């Protein structure tokens, strides 16, 4: 069994960004979105018109300073590799309690189709606005979006 990380959140958080579960590079590094090809941090900094910090602690501070919280739907899960489609035996994080503890959160951004599916499986009953945004992971397909297309959708979601 693999375990997700603690949430990045504070009393000023307005938006909760929910991924599915940390990938292998993230688990190894002990950091959210650690794989060099994952564009999460590039997208977040782009949304705010800033240059990306290289230090992870500075990135975390950037999220908090911009009223963003970060967590994953899965608390515990089985998966070989990093593909969301390989997740089995998931047990969710206590998102309901997080929202009770941080009542300023008014929007959830779900970072993939799988994150949305798992969120709805476990938390459909929660009455909070949610938007699914394109995955920041590289997705090789003929329908793949460019970085700029993804960043624009994230920006629209975060500024509504």
Interval 15-22 mean pLDDT = 94
- pLDDT bin (cut points 50, 70, 90) of residue 139 is low
What is the spatial distance between Cα 95 and Cα 133, in angstroms, rounded to a whole number? Answer: 19
Q: What are the boundaries of each domain within the chain? A: 2-158
Tens of pLDDT, residue by residue over 67-93, are 999 999 999 888 887 777 778 888 999
Q: Which residues pair with 72 in a beta bridge?
A: 19
User: Is 38 a catalytic site residue?
Assistant: yes
CB 103 within 8 A of CB 10: no
Per-residue pLDDT, 148: 93
- In CATH, which superfamily holds the domain spanning 2-158? Uracil-DNA glycosylase-like domain (3.40.470.10)
């Amino acid at each position: 069994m693999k375990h997700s990380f603690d949430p990045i959140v504070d009393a000023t958080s307005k938006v909760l960004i929910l991924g599915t579960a940390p990938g292998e590079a993230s688990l190894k590094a002990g950091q959210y979105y650690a794989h060099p090809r994952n564009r999460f941090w590039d997208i977040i900094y782009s949304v705010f018109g800033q240059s990306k910090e290289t230090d992870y602690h500075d990135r975390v501070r950037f999220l908090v300073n911009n009223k963003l919280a970060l967590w994953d739907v899965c608390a515990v899960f089985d998966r070989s590799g990093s593909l969301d489609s390989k997740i089995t035996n998931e047990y969710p994080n206590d998102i309901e309690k997080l929202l009770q503890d941080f009542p300023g959160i008014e929007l959830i951004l779900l970072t993939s189709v799988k994150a949305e599916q798992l969120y709805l499986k476990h938390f459909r009953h929660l009455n909070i606005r949610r938007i699914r945004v394109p995955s920041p992971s590289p997705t090789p397909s003929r329908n793949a979006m460019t970085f700029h297309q993804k960043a624009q959708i994230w920006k629209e979601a975060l500024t509504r």
